[in-house]
A and B are shown apart, each in its own frame.
Chain A
Amino acid sequence: MSIVLDKVSHIYDLGTANERFALKDISLQIKDGEFIGLIGHTGSGKSTLVQHLNGLLKANYGTVYYNGEDIYAKDYSMKKLRQKVGLVFQYPEHQLFETTVIKDVKFGPKNMGLPQLEVDMRAFEALKQVGIGDDLLDASPFELSGGQRRRVAIAGILAMQPEVLILDEPTAGLDPKGREEILEQIARLHKERNITIILVSHSMEDVAKYAQRLLVMNRGRVVLDGAPQDIFPHYEEIEKIGLAAPQITYVMQSLKEAGLPVDTSITDLEQAVENICRYTKNVN
């Protein structure tokens, strides 16, 4: 059970003067239950890549396999695929359209043709998972705050109970508290339901804390692929493509250069504090 990309290339405006590569020969495997951080700066092809995973965009070259099946095969059901691979777009709150919160969340499961009771159950559960209280069920989505609206929109995808959940910049435009809340909820979902999560972001800070595996993209290619602690020591390479490593990496790196033998692969704040304390105590 996995998603496999086999030499996927995507070209925008093929055959016109504006022709350009958005994805170049990407091959990778995403295993079940992984928490992946997909990073790259604007225009690196992150959004294009994730839209291939649920068939919204079709590769010009190469194929995508979902659980071993070629999604471009003639009799493959895109509708089924989109139920299994849930994609939350950037600014998902801009896609809300129903009169009440609960109706909007029910939209996805309803399109799946589920029985009424099941639709209701899933909608309630999804809203609970994103932390929207019962008092807001019948409110208009447009009365909510920005962060709440985004959580409702995410619930709309969760209610379809996908096996893979892709979130494209889920924290864009939120304040630090809202960011933290959304990311914590996603991490909890991953832990409790063991679904595959792909978190798209241009901020290492966001991703480093939660992802088990990082994919760094630049100009339509995956340039780095590995666990965060293996990737961040390459921070010079990361800077070269216009991204920054987490602040912790910089702190640890400077300490090491100053002569303290700290572990530079640490990305978690508490671990870092502990690690530094250990050596500073030794010094004293």
Chain B
Amino acid sequence: MLRDITIGQYYREESVIHRLDPRVKLAGTFIYIILLFIFDNIWGYALATLAFAVVVKASRIPLKFILKGLRPILFLLLLTVFFNMFFVTGTHVILQYGIIRITWEGLKSAAFMGIRLILLILGSSLMTYTTTPNHLTDGLEKGLNWMNKFKVPIHEIAMMMSIALRFIPILLEETDIIMKAQSARGVDFEHGRVWTRAKNMVPILVPLFISAFRRANDLARAMEARCYRGGEGRTKMKPLVYARRDRAAYLLVVVYIALLIAGDRTLAYFL
């Protein structure tokens, strides 16, 4: 029932992208997203799409699987495109019918918005597909270590994140079992009015909350029994160390930025 949810899903595969240091992937994705907003012209999007295609190819994840990640935002995507198409005002009218008015500017804005949104989602989901949650939080912790100086408890935040991520599949499975158990007691989740369906959530939510608290309690005790006392002085079994391929990846990011700026200037010069 709930197996289809793919938040933060990891796709197991052997590839260069999978082996990259998580800090590189985090920084790369962050920069990629920011640049999507800065260079919002045809050159920017073309290069961004090309870069995305290259990374997908290198990651060896089937494109079909990656595109599946768009399904949850399909509605939002269509809505955005729709509003941009009809409500962006412009001077070059292509089609006018009553109050409906489609302009060249509106179409352009709709297309750009759509592409930007798609690349935004796919780019960030590519990061989670190629990085295990544990690796991701490790990268976050080490990459943002400097924030400790400003009294930001970065280790604690990273630990909370990794625990939260770890709990998602467990709680999903638990929900599945509880739903089945209550179905066995005659609850019908598929039919009925909105009110009855809402009421049917109680026999799921109460046991789910209790189990979440129980698990949290168990985990806290287990951590204490292993003498966990926060991040200070804590060492790692497998510390993150940059390898050659990570430096090469950083270099590629710099090249990407340079290409974007160069293309943007050239474009500005000619127009």
Contacts and interface: CB of A to CB of B under 8 A. Distances in A.
Interface of A: 13, 51, 54, 56, 79, 82-83, 86-87, 89, 92, 94-97, 107-108, 111-112, 142, 156-157, 160
Contact of B207 (A79, A97, A111, A157): A97
A89 B180 contact: yes
**The 4 A-B residue pairs with the shortest CB-CB distance in the complex, in nearest-first order:** A111-B186, A97-B206, A108-B185, A95-B181
Contacts of A156: 185
Interface in B42-93: none
A13 B185 CA distance: 26
Contacts of A111: 185-188
Contacts of B183: 56, 82
Contacts of A82: 183-186
A86 B186 CA distance: 10
Interface string B207-220: 10011000000000
B203 A107 contact: yes
A87 B184 contact: yes
A112 B186 contact: yes
Contact of A97 (B177, B184, B188, B203): B203
Interface string B170-191: 0000000110111111111000
Interface residues of B, number: 18
Nearest to B177: A89
Nearest to B186: A111
Given A79-B186, A111-B185, A94 B180 contact: no
Contacts of B202: 97
A54 to B, nearest CB: 6
B178 A95 contact: yes
A36 B178 CA distance: 25
A96 B207 CA distance: 6
Among B177, B181, B183, chain A packs the most CB atoms within 10 A around the CB of B181
B186 A54 contact: no
B188 A79 contact: yes
Contacts of B181: 87, 89, 92, 95
A47 to B, nearest CB: 10
Contact of B186 (A89, A108, A142): A108
B3 interface: yes
B143 to A, nearest CB: 31
A160 B186 contact: yes
A111 to B, nearest CB: 3
Which of A86, A95, A111, A157 has the largest count of B CB atoms less than 10 A from its CB? A95
Nearest to A159: B185
A126 B237 CA distance: 54
A82 B181 CA distance: 11
18 contacts: A13-B3, A51-B180, A56-B180, A82-B186, A86-B184, A92-B181, A94-B211, A95-B182, A95-B207, A97-B202, A97-B203, A97-B207, A107-B185, A107-B203, A108-B186, A111-B186, A157-B184, A160-B186
Q: Counting chain B CB atoms within 10 Å of each CB, which of A82, A86, A157 scores highest?
A: A82
Contacts of A160: 185-186
Nearest to B200: A111
A157 B186 CA distance: 10
Interface centre among A56, A97, A156 (most CB of B within 10 A): A97
B147 to A, nearest CB: 38
A161 to B, nearest CB: 12
Contacts of A86: 184
Contacts of B180: 51, 56, 89
Contacts of A142: 210
Nearest to A93: B207
Contacts of B186: 79, 82-83, 108, 111-112, 160
A231 B182 CA distance: 35
Contacts of B207: 94-97
Contacts of B178: 94-95
A97 B211 CA distance: 11
A89 B184 CA distance: 9
A252 to B, nearest CB: 39
Contacts of A13: 3
Contacts of A56: 180, 183-184
Nearest to B191: A79
Nearest to A17: B12
A54 B180 CA distance: 11
B48 to A, nearest CB: 29
Nearest to B206: A97
A13 B3 CA distance: 9
Given A94-B210, A111-B186, A160-B185, 11 more contacts: A51-B180, A54-B184, A56-B184, A82-B185, A87-B184, A95-B178, A95-B207, A97-B203, A111-B187, A112-B186, A142-B210
